[in-house]
Amino acid sequence: MIPRYSRPEMATIWSPETKFRIWFEIEAHAADAMAELGIVPREAARTIWEKGGKAAFDIARIDEIERETKHDVIAFLTHLAEIVGPEARFVHQGMTSSDVLDTCFNVQLVRASDILLADLDALLAALKKRAFEHKDTVTIGRSHGIHAEPTTFGLKLAQAYAEFSRCRQRLENARAEVATCAISGAVGTFANIDPRVEAHVAEKMGLDPEPISTQVIPRDRHAMFFATLAVIASSIERLAVEVRHLQRTEVLEAEEFFSAGQKGSSAMPHKRNPVLSENLTGLARMVRAYALPAMENVALWHERDISHSSVERMIGPDATVTLDFALVRLTGLIENLVVYPQAMMRNLERFRGLVHSQRVLLALTQAGVSREDAYRLVQRNAMKVWEQGADFLEELLADKDVRAALSEEAIREKFDLGYHIKHVDTIFRRVFAEG
């Protein structure tokens, strides 16, 4: 997480201010529940909210205390006591640091998820808009980087829409994974704290109680969360790589928007480089990398150790901030993508007719030619186009063996582009559940 690749809204979730505010809320809600249960005086709970609720926590002061105690939650509680006064002794009763830390971390991840879900919604909207705009924009489909058969640019975007729709569902699942609260005390037995405190805090913080915690919330939840972000990042990479390909000089079927003052190269002024897509490719690598330490965090020792903590202090912000930035960047890129339908058609026609080879192959077999023979017939004419720049249709019409099986009309009929896009509406309905 570096400022260059951060948006304030997401970065704020990970600020010390936000963290201490969430800690306070957890402690104060817990005090309320304990007051309700008669464990602490109602007056104390009220005082905690009153004094702590309006206080701006002094982060420098908390840091100072932590330097002595080497314990962040004790440092915060000490500072809170300075604010709240003697009633502070009713704070954190029967609780352990992890009750606060883990519940706070999950609150942060849930808030981050909500931003990411909104990011995905915006991306999906952009993809849908551009997909419908180019539903019938014919372009060559490519496999292995080699021209295959015609498709439409809208279908490319529809595929991305379907992919990010899956990502959205995955992120919802991932959000649910981490939307839990544990206020279960040391080693999670509730020995010193009533389970009803947990239930109250969970409800107030918008979480579910963790069915069984062992002082910590189990880290398989977080492993799944960060693994999901890694998969989403991989889908970003896919679309970014597509744009990079489309923008390369020889293809140039689409371009990232290039603003007026922007400079592509300090040396070569004509250059317009797909730098946003390349940047997204790199950011995707980073988000993917963060999944690994999250998985290694699962196997804590016995009821808990604290090896996960340093990892999460880093990947919590790093993964969510980077993914947020990447999704927003990708959305802008898609919204502003400059598309060149004419260039698409020009590329498609590069090997005149060759894209129709499969149709001819099929027609030959349907006319009774064995598959092996049909393949050879088509390939020998295709090779002339490929190697000598011949016209595929003319070659076929001049091939006696082909003509023995197919009439001129039958052959010409195979060279119709409309044939390839006749099911676009069907596919769009499947993807967008509308016409």
Catalytically annotated residues: 144, 265
For residues 7 and 21, give the distance between their C-alpha atoms in angstroms, rounded to a whole number.
20
Provide the greatest CA pair distance for the chain: 102
In whole angstroms, give the CA distance from residue 353 to residue 368.
Answer: 23
Minimum CB distance to a copy of itself, residue 51 (Å): 16
Nearer to a copy of itself, 205 or 276 (CB): 276
What is the SS3 assignment for 70? coil
Instruction: Tell me the C-alpha distance between 296 and 304, whole Å.
Output: 14
Closest to a copy of itself by CB, 8 vs 269, is: 269
Q: Which is nearer to a copy of itself, 49 or 375 (CB)?
A: 375
Q: What one-character DSSP code corresponds to residue 352? A: T
Three-class SS state of 392:
helix
Q: How is residue 210 written in tokens?
A: 């963790």
Query: Three-state DSSP class for 125?
Result: helix
Tokens for 230?
Answer: 């890694």
C-beta closer to a copy of itself: residue 166 or 412: 166
């990411």: which residue's tokens?
A: 116
Q: Tell me how far, at minimum, the Cβ of 359 lies from a copy of itself, in Å.
A: 7
User: Phi and psi (nearest 5°) for 367?
Assistant: -85, 5
| CB-nearer residue toward a copy of itself: 92 or 134 | 92
Q: Is the dihedral of CA 64, 69, 71, 73 positive or negative?
A: negative
Cα 417 to Cα 355, 413, 435: the distances in Å are 10, 10, 21
DSSP conformation letters of 23-35:
HHHHHHHHHHHHH
Would you say 126 or 431 has its CB closer to a copy of itself? 431
Rounded to the nearest 10 degrees, the angle between the axes of helix 307-336 and helix 97-133 is 20
CA angle 410, 412, 413 (to 5 degrees): 65
> Shortest Cβ distance from residue 39 to a copy of itself (Å)?
9
Give the integer Cα–Cα distance in Å for 429 and 425. 6
Q: How far is the CB of 430 from a copy of itself (least distance, A)?
A: 4
Interior angle at CA 254, CA 250 and CA 259, nearest 5:
110
* Comparison of 113 and 213: residue with beta carbon closer to a copy of itself: 213
Residues in the chain: 435
CB atoms within 10 A of CB 268: 9
Closest approach, Cβ 24 to a copy of itself, in A, equals 15
User: How far apart (Å, rounded) are the C-alpha atoms in residues 35 and 46?
Assistant: 9
147 forms bridges with which residues in the sheet?
142
Q: How far is the CB of 212 from a copy of itself (least distance, A)?
A: 5
